[in-house]
Amino acid sequence: MRKRIVAGNWKMNMNYKEANNLFEALSKIKISNSTNVIIAPPSIYLSSFKNNNDKIFLSSQNVSNHNNGAYTGEISAEMLSSLDINYCIVGHSERRSYYSENDKLISKKIDALLNYDISPIYCCGELKLDRESQNHQQVVKSQIEEALFHLSKSQIKSVIIAYEPVWAIGTGLTASSEDAQNMHFFIRSLISEKYDSETAQSISILYGGSCKPNNAKELFSQPDIDGGLIGGAALNHKDFSDIIFSF
């Protein structure tokens, strides 16, 4: 059975005291055995959070594509690994649009992470225009092919995919559970064609884009939706806990 995952992307929010208080409160939640929770705080906090909940894992929000050297301000996969960080978000639409990251660069970041046994949480998703022109599947297909399809079968099994329609991120608009399920099924079919069905069935595919306590249950009940990548609602203890309990 695939792992159910709820991941919270805190982005560039909260000072240390606020962030640590939220993390400590979340650590006390009783999380079911079949669910993993991943928290991606600002990276400056990663080393100081005391994690004593074995269902909660820490993630970085970004990583350098370089291994080490003169890259001011960057953080390497080796550095994350030395802090026992197990996950890292890559390909988020904010990095694609504000920092011009493309799938060629993202594929290098994925390689850097896998070299250190860190699971990439790979974000993909179409713009509003792509959906309106019925081009959404083609856009996601090319993102998946460019960023992931150079990986071996055992490597891709370490990747978590987050389907995040860009028009739904932070907007209050959510994909209908039917549209989200269709895209998750499509992504799984692409992986099955390229690798095999067993590989496709083993990969967790999360939905992201204005996922809230009032829509999580319906989204998570779809057969190919294995949980969510949560932005805004991850900053609120009650909202995030309610989403964790939505399976």
Q: How far is the CB of 167 from ligand PEP (least distance, A)?
A: 10
Q: What pairs with residue 231 in β-bridges?
A: none
CA angle 26, 39, 74 (to 5 degrees): 140
Q: Is the dihedral of CA 40, 33, 120, 68 positive or negative?
A: positive
Among residues 92, 101, 126, 184, the one annotated as catalytic is 92
Q: Judged by CB under 6 A, does residue 210 bind ligand PEP?
A: yes
Q: Is the backbone of residue 98 left (phi > 0), alpha (psi -120 to 50) or beta?
A: alpha
The span from the CA of 120 to the CA of 140, in Å, is 17
Say if CB 156 and CB 191 are below 8 A apart: yes
Which region, judged by CB under 6 A, interacts with ligand PEP, from 16-24, 111-119, 204-212, 236-244? 204-212
Task: Count the residues of the shown chain that bind ligand PEP, applying the rule CB under 6 A.
Answer: 13
In the three-class reduction of DSSP (H, G, I as helix; E, B as strand; rest coil), residue 141 is classed as: helix
Question: Catalytic: 178?
Answer: no
Q: How far is the CB of 160 from ligand PEP (least distance, A)?
A: 13
Question: Catalytic: 92?
Answer: yes
The span from the CA of 219 to the CA of 110, in Å, is 27
Among 4, 5, 8, 9, binds ligand PEP (CB under 6 A): 9
Q: Judged by CB under 6 A, does residue 165 bind ligand PEP?
A: no
Q: Judged by CB under 6 A, does residue 38 bind ligand PEP?
A: no
Which region, judged by CB under 6 A, interacts with ligand PEP, from 27-35, 110-118, 184-192, 223-231? 223-231
Interface with ligand PEP (CB under 6 A): 9, 164, 169-170, 208-211, 229-233
**Mind telling me the catalytic residues?**
92, 164
